[in-house]
């Protein structure tokens, strides 16, 4: 497999797929440029070699051309970060893009407009009527798959080499994240530095596990995390299930959860997961107490209660001090740690304590030699918010991609380059 370090970009044009899906405020100011900074080592290496770059990215989830999601908004900041006047093509596959790409000189950079302005990027039909028949849906799908080939080929035609540095979308088989790679031979396609680091971090967790291995899964719903939880039961020694998911488990065990968030239709599943954990000898750790609130707001009245004795009219919005201690003990005795999802509604300042304490325990374990991997938007936001990012081994830019990789799935963006 080709590597970015071994490739000399001098006189070459590289198409670099990045993840510049950054949050913007209502005036289109970038509120967090982490993802842009993460791609800089790759972009700078290409320029330092004497190559030129065509950058492709998505921004948000537009359903067609939509000014709100234009990558134009990030152009000045990108120029500033790179120290180069970055050019812009208003349409990623229009004539303008082709002409500008062809004219690129060594050291020059061209940013293409949002790839997702075209349905072909994702390969999913758009604009289908709600009452479309199965036939119509099938035909639309076929049509977009057909036109996706031309779209992909056109993007590939701009460059001599293809670099994928967008780990956040590596679990999607989109035109620019996976399909494009087919138009380049093995020597001319490679991961960018960020992607390389992400893949290594995942491999470390999957193949080189120092035990005990503890996974902390938080977040609101069991339903969105079943697969990963089931898969982790085959890998971990300790599984801490926390956040809003807690109450589905508590209720399944006959506890009283007041108004806490709960998936009534997942009570049986929660029981099954507990039984499976037992069968596999996994220590499933759940909260024993909760910080409860009399409504879903930062200003609510609060109290602490056993997690299975939450009064009517109150809901658990974070873990309590006893749970913090239990979680911290498990974490501090671990040698490999994966964290995805907060222990509570961390967006409310008054319910951040549990997530902070988990983060701090991870930092301490890391100091003592553990390998810790934090991924998923909310947990990354937590470690950044609490200033703990430097204390963990690796903060992943991937949410869904990271979890799918940890589940053991082959990610299309990785397979397209590496072959497996
Ligand atoms: P997810 O999107 O499933 O990863 O979950 C993340 C969200 O879960 C965050 O926005 C949290 O606010 C939310 N969350 C965590 N704990 C609770 C809870 N006890 N009640 C309601 N929402 C929660």
- pLDDT in the model for residue 205: 85
Rounded distance, CA 91 to CA 371, Å?
A: 43
Claim to verify: residue 144 and residue 261 sit in the same structural domain: no
192 catalytic per annotation: no
Judge whether 359 lies within some domain: yes
Model confidence at 346, pLDDT cuts 50, 70, 90, reads very high
DSSP of 345-402: -TTSGGG-HHHHHHHHHHHHHHHTT-EEEE-SHHHHHHHHHTT-GGGSSEE-S-SHHH
Nearest Cα to 311, choosing from 293, 324, 298? Answer: 293
221 counts as catalytic: yes
Q: How far apart are CA 354 and CA 373, in angstroms?
A: 18
| Global confidence as pTM | 0.86
> Please, which residues bridge with residue 292 across strands?
303, 316
What contacts 393, CB < 8 A, 6 or more positions away? 201, 366, 370, 371, 372, 373
Q: What is the reported pLDDT for 406?
A: 86
Residue 4 belongs to a domain: no
pLDDT at 407 over 90: no
Is the minimum distance from the CB of 258 to ligand 1 under 6 angstroms? no
Percent of the chain predicted with pLDDT > 70: 100
d(CA 361, CA 330): 9
Q: Are residues 160 and 262 in the same domain?
A: no
Q: Is residue 289 part of a domain?
A: yes
In a domain, 413, yes or no: no
Shared domain check, 168 and 259: no
How far CA 274 is from CA of 94, 113, 263, 406, in Å, comes to 54, 48, 16, 21
CB atoms within 10 A of CB 144: 18
207 Cα: distance to centroid of ligand 1 (angstroms): 30
* DSSP letter assigned to residue 295: S
86 with 186, same domain: the answer is yes
373 located within any domain: yes
- Is residue 107 situated within a structural domain? yes
Asked whether residue 185 falls in the same domain as residue 240, the answer is: no
341 lines ligand 1 (CB under 6 A): yes
Structurally, the chain folds into a number of domains equal to: 2
Q: Over the stretch 262-314, which tens digit does the pLDDT of each residue have?
A: 999 999 999 999 999 999 999 999 999 999 999 999 999 999 999 999 999 99
Task: Render pLDDT for 358-396 as a digit per residue (tens, 0 to 9).
Answer: 999 999 999 999 999 999 878 888 998 999 999 999 999
CA pair distance 52, 27, nearest whole angstrom = 31
Between the CA of 23 and the centroid of ligand 1 the distance, in Å, is 19
Regarding whether 213 and 155 lie in a shared domain, the answer is no
Confidence of residue 222 (pLDDT cuts 50, 70, 90): confident
Which domain CATH number covers 374?
Answer: 3.40.50.1260
What is the CA(159)–ligand 1 centre distance, in A?
42
Within a domain: residue 93? yes
Active site residue 154: no
Would 418 be classed as within a structural domain? no
> Is the domain of 125 the same as that of 220?
no
- Asked if 179 and 204 sit in the same domain, the reply is no
| 141 flagged as catalytic | no
Give the domain range for residue 348.
Answer: 199-406
Instruction: Label residue 61 by pLDDT band (50, 70, 90).
Output: very high
The response to whether residue 231 sits with its C-beta less than 6 Å from ligand 1 reads: no
pLDDT at 194: 97
CB of residue 220 inside a 6 A radius of ligand 1: yes
Mean pLDDT, the chain, integer: 95
* 121 and 239 assigned to the same domain: no
C-alpha span between 418 and 195 (Å, rounded): 12
């Amino acid at each position: 497999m080709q590597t970015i370090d071994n490739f000399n970009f001098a006189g070459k044009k590289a198409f670099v797929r990045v993840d510049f899906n950054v949050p913007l405020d209502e005036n289109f100011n970038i509120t967090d440029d982490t993802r842009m900074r993460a791609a800089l080592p790759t972009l700078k290496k290409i320029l330092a070699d004497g190559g030129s770059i065509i950058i492709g990215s998505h921004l948000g989830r537009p359903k067609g051309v939509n000014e709100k999601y234009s990558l134009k908004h990030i152009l000045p900041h990108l120029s500033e970060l790179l120290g180069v006047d970055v050019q812009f093509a208003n349409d990623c596959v229009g004539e303008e893009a082709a002409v500008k790409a062809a004219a690129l000189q060594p050291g020059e950079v061209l940013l293409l407009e949002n790839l997702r302005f075209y349905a072909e990027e994702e390969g999913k039909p758009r604009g289908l009527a709600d009452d479309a028949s199965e036939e119509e849906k099938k035909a639309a799908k076929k049509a977009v798959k057909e036109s996706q080939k031309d779209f992909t080929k056109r993007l590939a035609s701009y460059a001599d080499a293809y670099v994928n540095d967008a780990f956040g979308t590596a679990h999607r088989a989109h035109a620019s994240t996976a399909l494009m790679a087919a138009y380049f031979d093995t020597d001319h396609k490679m991961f960018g530095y960020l992607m390389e680091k992400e893949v290594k971090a995942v491999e470390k967790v999957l193949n080189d596990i120092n035990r005990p291995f503890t996974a902390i899964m938080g977040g609101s719903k069991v339903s969105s995390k079943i697969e990963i939880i089931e898969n982790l039961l085959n890998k971990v020694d300790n599984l801490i299930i926390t956040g809003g998911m807690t109450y589905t488990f508590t209720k399944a065990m006959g506890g009283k959860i007041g108004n806490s968030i709960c998936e009534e239709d997942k009570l049986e599943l929660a029981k099954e997961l507990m039984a499976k954990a037992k069968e596999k000898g996994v220590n499933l750790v759940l909260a024993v107490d909760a910080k409860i609130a009399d409504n879903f707001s930062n200003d609510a009245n609060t109290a602490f209660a056993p997690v299975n004795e939450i009064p009517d009219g109150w809901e658990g919005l974070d873990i309590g001090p006893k749970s913090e201690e239990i979680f911290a003990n498990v974490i501090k005795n671990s040698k490999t740690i994966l964290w995805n999802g907060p222990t509570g509604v961390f967006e409310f300042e008054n319910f951040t304590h549990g997530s902070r304490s988990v983060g701090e325990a991870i930092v301490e374990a890391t100091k003592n030699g553990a390998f810790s991997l934090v991924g998923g938007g909310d947990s990354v936001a937590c470690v950044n918010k609490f200033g703990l990012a430097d204390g963990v081994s690796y903060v992943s830019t991937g949410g869904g991609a990271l979890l799918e990789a940890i589940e053991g799935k082959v990610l299309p963006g990785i397979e397209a380059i590496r072959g497996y």
